Structure 1
Amino acid sequence: MFATCIVVINPQRWVLGLALILLSSAAVAGAGQCGDPGTTALDRIAGVDGAPLPEGREVIIEAPVSASFPGQSGLNGFFVESDMPRVGLFVYAPDVTPGAAPKPAERWRLQARTGRYRGRIQLERLEGLVHCGAEPVKPTAVPADTLDDPADFANRLIRIDGPLTVTDTYQLGRYGSMRLAQGGRAFARNTGIKGGTPFPVVLDDGSYRRDPRPVPYLDETGVRRAGDRLASVTGVVTHAFGEWRIHPVAPPAIRSANPRPVDAPRRPADSALRVVQFNLQNYFIDRGGRGPATAAGFQRQRTRLRATLRALDADLLVLHEIQNKPAAVDDLLDWLNEDQPPGQHYQATLSERSAAVIRTVMLFRPSRLTQRRAARHADEAHARDPIAAVFEDAQGEPLVVAGAHFKSRGGCPEHGDVDRGAGCWAERREAEADALARWLDDWVEADQLAEAPVLLLADLNAYAEEQPVQRLVEAGLVDQLAQRVPAPQRYGYVYRGRAGYLDHVLATDSMAARIQALTSWAVNADEPAYLAREGEGVWRASDHDPLIIDLK
């Protein structure tokens, strides 16, 4: 006679019972008792030295639990791992409640059947569980710079020693996961910036549920930003939804290395003018299309964008992704000017427009600038019209500012202008750059574009080394971000874990001589995407960071 703990599972109704009872060895049905012969080794089930066992094969195993994520709030199961050789398997147990589930560092004997889920070998259809005492699993130490193939550690408990950099928080609020990079922040190709290398394992949260609340991995201020640092994490590596993931068994060691810049960049004391470029991420006054789906969501968007723009206190605004409707521009002006003294009011440079879903608008303060003329470039090359205006400042100095927003990198056609390494529609954007350069060269009324004081603020949807940017450089404009901003800070947008800058500040030499400071306000790109719906204040009010140009 001996004492043991059994979970008996009725195979007809899959009903659990947990009992601590006295029984003889003959009383343990199905799984048998701890130490009995007739078990199948984990490496035999997984096919380490041959073919794995086919699906549906009934097996009995006895092994320690390395990690447990029970219930629908977890992974509906637990992991077991053998020592010689080191092999891990997932045990799918959706009917085992969290209170009755096997726990890490416990040894269990179980009867189940072999199965597959999206190609992963697992055990399922449990028929009995017997607790066999304590047995901890020591995690395998894996330095981050040696983890080349996560498949070598599939379903095993490991400790990854960094440092690693959080390089993307986009899915943090949706699925509780973050992308990492080794050697610093990862940058998009064609940026001309050598950044870190994307790490082959996603940091997950021990669950595949949507919209986990509370959101995991937040710091003491309630946020987790790209650029933060992970020192180490211990968890089980597994493959799901097309990627290798690590589900921690203890809170990972993450340091907030990229804190929020609470205050907007200060204007230099002797700055004459401040110019801001900002993509508002679909500012639409109508519901049912782009932008927030509800009136309440739209009001939140307005409030948060107003907080951002008022904090920046620009004399001239170049804004992208505005609904191509005069009422949308009027709405912008209404809340920008509301409760402001007349000297702070804005007006639009022009109202003409071509047919398009979105547009770029230019707003300026007449108290600071005098507009001499303005125009748009309606050309078949353009997805939406570039605009330009000639101003004079308080000293009578001329200033030519142009704004443009080129064709998106997404939505590839089936044939033709597909992604060949520079995103979809690269040829279209190249044609847009050529058309814009020709137009500006004619419109500025100078012998050559390079001789005029021109400042081009454009979301080119192209990175610095791609042809649209290079064509504009060849026309006489200079990439001011590349000239003035250190490489690690040269980004304002993050896509699939890679940072870069699609929003450009290009200037002729005579205009560049007037630039006193050029910076961004990193309030959006590093922030988790769920804050677009749930955040407050300036944080993730858009998916692009605003660019600030202070002129002498």
Structure 2
Amino acid sequence: MKTATAFRTLSPIAMAVALATPALAQAACGAAGATLIHDVQGRVVGSPMQGKTVTVEGVVSGAFTGAGQLRGFYLQEEVRDQDADPTTSEGIFVFLGNLAAPTLKPGDVVRVTGKVSEYSRKGDAASETQITPSTIAAVEQCAYSEPLSYATLRLPLQSSAQLEALAGMAVRLEGPVYVAANYDYGRYGELTLSSRPRLWTATQRFLPGSAEAKALSEANQLDKLTLDDGLQIQNADAWLPAPGGLSASRTLRSGDRLDGVTGVVSYAFGKYRLQPLAAPSVVASNPRPGAPKRQPESVRFASFNVLNFFNGDGQGKGFPTPRGAKTQQDFERQRAKIVAAIRQLDADVVGLMEIENDGFDRYSAIQDLVNALNQGQPQPKQYQFANPGLPQVGSDAITTGLIYRPTVVTAEGKAEVRVVGNPQKNRPALLQTFVLDAKSKTRVTVAVNHLKSKGSSCADMVVDGQADVDKGDGQGNCNLTRVQAVRDLMAWYATRPQPGPNDGMLLLGDMNSYAKEDPIRAFESAGFNNLLARWSRDAYSYVFNGESGNLDHALADKPLSSMVLAAGEWHINADEPTALEYSSEFKSAEQQQKYYAADAYRSSDHDPLYVDVARRGNAVAAADEGGLALLLGLGALGATALWRRKR
């Protein structure tokens, strides 16, 4: 990781803002005895001259000698001395360490004498070749300058070796490039760039382990490049969009386009990256969406992972909690964002995931959330929570929850908790039946789910005689455990009391499975329709490692499918930088104010989803953006729904 430091405002493209600026000696430039940079670099990772002292001469491509920067500069072979071998780099890093930094700028020609070495961390697959002078006198100024030449680079890469051949060189990215990921932007100053506005998780589009999934996964890896900020410290002010940098009102979302990207190719922290030579322009090609409009005469259902909503002891104390906010102030900031998102989503029934599993008394997290949602709201907008009459739901620190508007829907009977799969791995499902319309007797039973995550191992589990290990097919850890939970829920569904003609079933939640993975296909095999796939070809609710897909799902049985008017996600979270979350960790006092707003954006790491259901069971499909409408009669359960664009 980059070195943590005291918080300060830093410019990542400021060149050579040094603690001291000694005058450099004039070099005998062009004299015999200099080694060509491409000979120092060699044709493979690792210099053939490691440990030797060499003298090189070249053009400064990027100086990163200011406070918090890389403590050195990049030197590039003069054009007339470059070779024609595409496998050898013409650039190299000169590491000054604690030497007093000279004033240098791109285009300066200097002569440097120092020892060749390779810098890497344990476990890195590659390294960065560098020259380290023993004294500042070993860095000599030539009497002339030379225009900096740029190599051109286009994504996707042809191979991973392509960047090693450009190590230390100034490059200009050709063609449009887009932000694929901004997860590390606030803390480490890193953005993942791609040639495509969105990279898709392979198992979102194709069957796990298939040739198509493998090909997409491999293509994604060649279509990613990290743009760094030229700093070796953490928590500096995020510098884009320029001027002014990141703020709560001036965001930088996945899918936004960057024009005019230039930088020096470097290697650090396990991957190749660009250190910037100028600030690119940002085009907001994926603007923040407003709240999705409700369909007329509908009841809106929603699913929302609320990112470890823990309220301490419920009385202003009890922080830090096992998960979630570390302080009461941070919790209040978190709650304000969650409340803003749920209010604007305007759902009548909301399934919750990652809410604290501390019961249902007046100090519980779910009661806290309901109180905040109801404060100052008219009666028709107020919520209450479904209470199964148990001390808590399951044994995990987090659980599922369900809130609803009793003035809009009527809860029929008490909420039910159903254990699905291994109770030590999966959170139980929380079920509640609602009457949408008394006259037509339209009922919907909602099951809120949060299946086992991919993050931790289930190797100690045996399901159907198989160890539940990561099989390397893209589904990650615990896939069999998630499938087992789905089968248990579907077994209950098959044997439940006979429903009425207007009774439907809606499954909501964070399934920790992408659209083509086994758990979702198990739901579909049992007769449930994937509503997000039906209403949007490009559904996603989560961005991980620069790749998008939906871990959050809404699935309806056939009776309910005929009543669905619209379904989709509200992309307020997955595309936003994590720096805009509520937490004050890893932020200066100024950043805590600058990055935060009590709005819906980056209220969680998952996007909420919504499903609009016809209140009286009539199935009038909402028109898509082109104005087309599809009328689904109650008997036309097999009718094909229109594909529609997300925006």
TM-score, normalised relative to structure 2: 0.76
Corresponding letter in the other structure for 1:264: A
Distance 2:545 2:21 in 1: 45
Q: Which of the residues 124, 132, 157 maps onto 1:124?
A: 132
**Structure 2 residue aligned with 1:384:** 427
Q: Which of the residues 540, 543, 547 maps onto 2:605?
A: 543
**Structure 2 residue aligned with 1:295:** 328
Q: Flag the structure with larger Rg.
A: 1
Distance 1:547 1:423 in 2: 24
1:34 aligns with 2:29: yes
TM-score, normalised relative to structure 1: 0.89
**Structure 2 residue aligned with 1:403:** 448
Give deviations 1:395-419, integer Å, cap 9, x for gaps.
4312221111100110125664222
Distance 2:343 2:491 in 1: 35
Give deviations 1:152-173, integer Å, cap 9, x for gaps.
2111111111222211110110
Corresponding letter in the other structure for 2:114: A
1:150 aligns with 2:163: yes
Distance 1:50 1:442 in 2: 62
Corresponding letter in the other structure for 2:477: C
Give unpaired runs (5+ residues) of structure 1: 1-14, 21-27
CA contact (8 A) 1:271 1:516 kept: no
1:16 Cα deviation (Å)? Answer: 6.6
**Structure 2 residue aligned with 1:481:** 532
Higher normalized strand content (fraction of residues): 1
Distance 1:272 1:550 in 2: 6
Give deviations 1:104-134, integer Å, cap 9, x for gaps.
1010112222222113221013432221121
SS at match of 1:89: strand
1:47 aligns with 2:42: yes
Corresponding letter in the other structure for 1:540: R
**Structure 2 residue aligned with 1:18:** 22
SS at match of 1:400: strand
1:436-451 to 2 correspondence within 5 Å? 436-446=489-499
**Structure 2 residue aligned with 1:257:** 285
**Structure 1 residue aligned with 2:409:** 369
Distance 1:485 1:50 in 2: 45
**Structure 2 residue aligned with 1:8:** none
Distance 1:207 1:322 in 2: 37
For this pair of structures, how many residues does the alignment match? 522
Distance 1:49 1:535 in 2: 46
Distance 1:470 1:414, change over 3 A: closer
1:371 Cα deviation (Å)? Answer: 1.4
1:63 aligns with 2:58: yes
Q: Which of the residues 423, 426, 432 maps onto 2:485?
A: 432
Distance 1:50 1:535, change over 3 A: closer
**Structure 1 residue aligned with 2:591:** none
CA contact (8 A) 2:22 2:103 kept: no
1:452 Cα deviation (Å)? Answer: 4.7
**Structure 1 residue aligned with 2:400:** 360
CA contact (8 A) 1:162 1:232 kept: no
1:288 Cα deviation (Å)? Answer: 3.0
Give deviations 1:275-319, integer Å, cap 9, x for gaps.
111010101112331001111111101111111111122111111
SS at match of 2:23: strand
- Could you list the runs of 4 or more consecutive aligned residues of structure 1 that deviate by over 6 angstroms after TM superposition? 193-196
**Structure 2 residue aligned with 1:209:** 233
1:235 aligns with 2:263: yes
Give unpaired runs (5+ residues) of structure 2: 1-18, 84-88, 121-126, 207-212, 313-319, 461-466, 584-594, 615-647
Distance 1:413 1:316, change over 3 A: closer
Distance 1:176 1:59 in 2: 33
Give deviations 1:141-162, integer Å, cap 9, x for gaps.
2333454322221111111112
Distance 1:332 1:541 in 2: 14
Distance 2:112 2:252 in 1: 40
**Structure 1 residue aligned with 2:350:** 317
1:93 aligns with 2:138: no
Corresponding letter in the other structure for 2:418: H
Give deviations 1:205-237, integer Å, cap 9, x for gaps.
212321121443457952100011234411111
SS at match of 1:179: strand
Q: Which of the residues 370, 374, 394 maps onto 1:333?
A: 370
1:355 Cα deviation (Å)? Answer: 1.9
Once the two structures are overlaid, the 10-residue window that deviates more, 325-334 or 430-439, is 325-334
Once the two structures are overlaid, the 10-residue window that deviates more, 205-214 or 192-201, is 192-201
1:520 aligns with 2:520: no
Distance 1:457 1:444, change over 3 A: farther
CA contact (8 A) 1:205 1:216 kept: no
CA contact (8 A) 2:258 2:280 kept: yes
Distance 1:94 1:71 in 2: 12
**Structure 2 residue aligned with 1:276:** 302
CA contact (8 A) 1:203 1:246 kept: yes
1:67 Cα deviation (Å)? Answer: 1.3
Distance 1:363 1:138, change over 3 A: same
The CA RMSD over aligned residues, in Å, is: 2.5
1:485 Cα deviation (Å)? Answer: 1.0
Q: Which of the residues 165, 168, 181 maps onto 1:168?
A: 181
Q: Percent identity?
A: 31
CA contact (8 A) 1:67 1:236 kept: yes
SS at match of 1:530: helix
Distance 1:211 1:389 in 2: 45
SS at match of 1:222: coil
Distance 1:431 1:294 in 2: 38
